[in-house]
Structure formats: C-alpha cells, structure tokens
Structure 1
Amino acid sequence: MIIGVIGAGAVGGYCGAMLKRAGHDVIFVARGKHLDAMKEQGLLIHCDSGSFRVDGHFTNDVQDLNQADLILFTVSSTDTRATAEKLLPLLKADSMILTLQNGVDNEEMLTEWFGKARVFSGAAYLNVSLEAPGVIRQQQLQSFMIGSLAEEAGKEQAEMIVHLFQQAGLECQISMCILEEKWNKLIINAVFNPISALNSVTVGEILDNEKLRKTAERSLAEAVKIGTALGIPIRQELIDRFFIIAESARHHKTSMLQHREQGKKMEIESLCGYLVHKGRALGIDTSVLSSTYQALLLYEGNDENEIS
C-alpha cells in the first residue's frame, strides 16, 4: 500500500516510520530543517522498545501524493483547510484520508472537501515529540482508536486501516463512535494544552502547582458541561479518574507547548476557542477557558480575533 503522511512531524512521522518499517511505501511530506535532516539521514525514531531509522520518500511537494491509497492527515489544525484544498484535485478518487489531528473541528472541514465516505478519524493517545530535526522520540503512552465518519458504511475500510496499524506494531482498536472518542480526547487536550502552552509547563507541573491544578479542574468542569449540552456522552470514568490518568503523562510537553517552543502557530482555536464559542452559543459559563483563550490569542498577536 502507498501511504502518504502530510505534516510528518511528531505524530505523523512516528506513525509513518512504523508503517515504513512494516514494509509499506510511505511518502513523508514535511518542510524546513526537519525535511532537510530526513533527506540527509533518514528519520530516526527513539521509542521504549529501542531505536530505528527509516529511509523513504521525503518531500515538500504534495503532488507526490497523487498515487497514495491512504493519507495520514497530521498537519496542524491551523493548516487543515488550505491543505485539503491543495490535496483534493491530486488524490485518486478512492484514496482514503485518516485524520489524527487534535480537536473535533477538522473532521467537519475534511468532510466538506472529501465527503464522509473517504474520511476516517483517529484518536491518538501518544506521548511523542520532535526531539530534533529528523529525530522523533516516543515514550510510554501509545494507543489509537480509529473509526469511519460514515459509521457502518465505512466499517470494512476502517477495520483495514486498524489492521495496518496493528501489523506495524501500533496498538490500535476500531471505534464505532469515533467522534465521541475524539470528544473525550478533546476534553483532555482542552484542559492541559492551553495551560501548558501559556505557562510553559509540563503536564506534571500543572498537577503539582496548586493554582494551575485549580485552573485545570475548573476548565474540566466547563468542557464537560459543553460536551454534555451538545449531547456527547462523556465517559464518567474519564471525569472521575481524569487527574489520575494524567499522571501517566506527567513528563509530557503538550503539542501546543511544543509548537510554542518551535515558534509555530499554536492550535488555539481547535483546542480552546472551539469550546469557548460553543459554550457561548449555549449560554454556558466558560470564564476559565475564555480567560486562557484570550491570553493565548494575545500572546500570538491575534487580539483582533477576540470574542466580544
């Protein structure tokens, strides 16, 4: 199978490398120093089971994806719409698109361009980071839930993608309610990512700091209220054990913090603004999430996007 990874950073690069090692033809689309390093020396992966390096097709040209059977869509959510627009005329009519992005708004955009039948969604519970150009480190946590947005109609293809991941050594299960799964992950991200990025702290430092821990608790309560009001079944186990579960990722730098440190645009809208806007429309108090959201917008110089 020909697999294209567009946005081959930490998550996409790691998954692509595992699939490449399993024998698939993988095309990695990236840019900048990361791309240069991969072209020169391949992609080096450090993980709990050891280290390995893969060679492959490393490029910054999306035209190279025109024969791909499966696209791992792992660009930042800030680039979703522009990237989808570029891909649409290039891909084969039967190419599948799997988004492993954060948030739940990317699925809405991708189905606008490609239709529900071709778009699959994945929730990646993954402690992974771009350690240096051409070098990715994965530690401890590593599991995926994948499902079809067309539900039963796309079950067979979703099962095929899950099997691909499993064969490549990625812990993966199918979900028949993938958007519910993505919502549960969104709540985790919406609590830790904005606080982590704004204060330049790890998950563990949030847990250990009384003030930040309280902010996280209040953010959790607001996010759960919004999801519940939208009819999303939020797992009670997640709520009850939220901060116990977070202990397993206490040394993790969130993706939003990694983007801040790398000078990239942070996924402020997908991981914070989305909930603030939904809460506002529903008449739900989101004072804590809103405060963090506004502070992040100001940090990035986007204060013209402030909500009234």
Structure 2
Amino acid sequence: MKVAVMGAGAVGCFYGGMLARAGHEVTLIGRQNHVASIRRDGLRLESLSFDEFIEITACTDASGVVSADAILLCVKSPDTEAAVLAMKQYLSESAVIVTLQNGVDNAERVRALVEREVLAAVVYVGSEMGGPGHVRHHGRGELIIEPGTSSERLARILNDAGISTSVSANVRGALWEKLVLNCAYNAISALVQLPFGDLCQRGGTAVNRAMRDIVAECIAVASADGVNISRDVDETVARIMATIPAGQYSSTAHDVATHRPSEIDHLNGHIVGRGVALGIATPVNHLLMMMVRVLDNQRADQRSTKAASADGVLI
C-alpha cells in the first residue's frame, strides 16, 4: 500500500515507520529539520524491542500525498483545515483519509472539505521525537478505526505491520473516552511541567480529586450529548491512572515547553463549548482551558517579539 503521513511528528513517524518497516511505500510530510535528517540517514525508530534506521521518503510539501492510497492525518487539531486544503488538489479519487488526532470532531471537519472516504481513528501510543528524524516509542500503539469501505483492509495491513488495530462501531464513544483522558491529564501536566509519575507523587490525593472533578464534568457533558461511554467517574479515573505511563509527559505539556500552540481548545475547550451548548456547568475544565490559553498567548507574544527582532523592527 502507498501511504502518506500528513504531519510527521511523534505519532505520524511511529505509524509511518512501522508501515515502512513492513515493506509499504510511505512518505512522511513534516518539518524541514526532520525531513533533512530522514533524507540523509533514514528514520530512526527506537522502540522497546528494536532500534533501527528505516529507509523512507520524506518531504515538507503537501504534494507528498500524490497517488497515496491512504493518508494518515496526524497534524494538530487546530491545523486540520489548513492541512486538508493544502493537500486537497493532490488527492487521488480513491484515497482514504484516516484522522489520527486528538479531539473528537476532526473527521467531520475533514468531510466538510473533501469528497473522499474519511475514517476517524482513536490512537493510544506513547511516543516522542528524540531529535530530528528520531522517534522514540515508549509503549502501546493501538488503533481503533470506525467502520467504512476501507476499514477492514486497513486494519489487516496495520495488524500485519505490528500495529494492533480493530474496527469498532462505537468510535465516537472511544474518541470521547480518549478525550476524557486528555482532559484529565494534559492541562495539569502542561501547567506544572511534570510527567505523570512525578505529578502523582508530588500532588498526592489532590491529583486524584482534581481528576475526578474534571472527569465528572466531561461525563456529564458526554451524557447530555448522547455519547456512549462509561458513566462511572471513579472507574474512569482508575482507568486513566492505570493507562498513562509514569514517565509520560502530555502532548500539551510538550507544546507549552517548546513554545508551540497547544490543542487546548479541542480538549478541555471542547468540553466547555459543548457544556455551554447543552447547559452543563464545567468550571474546572473552564479554568484549565483559560490557564493554558494564557500560556499559549504568552508564547505567541514571545514568538512575535523574536520574529520582529529578527526583522530589525525591535532591538
């Protein structure tokens, strides 16, 4: 299968690397520094069981999706529309787009822009970029894909490549389960800049109570929105505590640390927005959203100042 990965960060490089390792023709579309390293040395995929350099095509332009049978959309949720519009003219008529992103509405946003098969997927993987062209896989890697014309074939290909993949009619519920996990952990991790194990150790029972309040709001909104997920707050919190690796930083923490815009509006912000629409109070999620937005805006101001200085406007 010919596969393009639009947004080759830690998630995209892991799945693209695994597919290329299994013999599929894969093109990674990502940032210049990663692309230059991959073109020179190959993609370094460091996992718990192997550490290899994988020969793989890489480029910085959306034209890399040309003639791809499947496109794995791995850009940040705020960049979904821009990424789809950039690659729209290059899509083959039979291409299927699979959304491997945080948030619960990316597939619908893609369908509004292109007339192609679009499959929502839920991603559970611990990975990070160890440097240009170097992805570290810390564990897991499962995918859950919604039913569609291409779903069973894709699942077989992914499973054969060592990526545990299933097809589920309740992908909406699974996406919301992942959203609840992200809401409970990402913003807190970003604000204190600690991995999960250290956060629990230093925060003690207060962390558990905070997560319980966040989860309770998320479940109330999901229930009002007709989403099929667990309604047991304690059970959900326990599952979250057991799911997150002890040394794992959240993606939002990484965004804040590297001065990149976060996905907070598509995580806790989505809960707040749906809560307003459905008449459900979400004060804890609202507070977390506001605090991360402040950090986002602060980083944006710093980026603007640096850019202006480089242009000679400020000294």
TM-score normalised by structure 1 residue count: 0.91
User: What RMSD over aligned residues (CA atoms) do the two structures have, in Å?
Assistant: 1.8
CA distance in 2, matches of 1:75, 1:238: 30
Match of 2:123 in 1: 124
Is residue 205 from structure 1 mapped to residue 198 from structure 2 by the alignment? yes
Structure 1 residue 245: Cα displacement: 4.4
Q: 2:210 aligns with which of 190, 210, 215?
A: 215
CA distance in 2, matches of 1:3, 1:246: 34
Match of 1:306 in 2: none
Task: Report if aligned partners of 1:204, 1:247 keep a CA contact under 8 Å in 2.
Answer: no
Match of 2:311 in 1: none
CA distance in 2, matches of 1:86, 1:224: 36
Distance 1:112 1:55, change over 3 A: same
CA distance in 1, matches of 2:49, 2:248: 18
Please say which of residues 51-60 and 294-303 is displaced more in the overlay: 294-303
Please say which of residues 172-181 and 204-213 is displaced more in the overlay: 204-213
Deviations 1:32-91 (A, max 9, x none): 322222122111111122112111111001112111110000001111011111122210
Q: 1:171 aligns with which of 139, 164, 174?
A: 164
TM-score normalised by structure 2 residue count: 0.89
CA distance in 2, matches of 1:100, 1:122: 6
Match of 2:285 in 1: 289
Runs of 5+ consecutive residues of structure 2 not aligned to the other structure:
300-315
Structure 1 residue 237: Cα displacement: 6.8
Structure 1 residue 212: Cα displacement: 3.4
Radius of gyration: which is bigger?
2
Task: Report if aligned partners of 1:7, 1:75 keep a CA contact under 8 Å in 2.
Answer: yes
Q: How many residues align?
A: 296
Match of 1:67 in 2: 67
CA distance in 1, matches of 2:114, 2:136: 32
The code of the aligned residue for 2:272 comes to: V
Distance 1:167 1:259, change over 3 A: same
Structure 2 counterpart SS, 1:88:
helix
Distance 1:137 1:108, change over 3 A: same
Deviations 1:173-214 (A, max 9, x none): 111221111111111111111111122121223333133332
CA distance in 2, matches of 1:272, 1:245: 16
Please say which of residues 139-148 and 91-100 is displaced more in the overlay: 139-148
CA distance in 1, matches of 2:293, 2:258: 17
Match of 1:34 in 2: 34
Distance 1:112 1:212, change over 3 A: same
Percent of matched pairs sharing the same residue: 28
CA distance in 1, matches of 2:140, 2:230: 20
The code of the aligned residue for 1:164 comes to: I
Runs of 5+ consecutive residues of structure 1 not aligned to the other structure:
149-153, 304-308
Task: Report if aligned partners of 1:5, 1:16 keep a CA contact under 8 Å in 2.
Answer: yes
Structure 1 counterpart SS, 2:102:
coil
Q: 1:234 aligns with which of 217, 229, 234?
A: 229
Structure 1 residue 258: Cα displacement: 1.7
Task: Report if aligned partners of 1:29, 1:61 keep a CA contact under 8 Å in 2.
Answer: yes
Is residue 274 from structure 1 mapped to residue 303 from structure 2 by the alignment? no
Distance 1:103 1:229, change over 3 A: same
The code of the aligned residue for 2:59 comes to: T
Structure 1 residue 215: Cα displacement: 1.9
Distance 1:16 1:238, change over 3 A: farther
Match of 2:114 in 1: 114
Deviations 1:132-151 (A, max 9, x none): 11111112322111113xxx
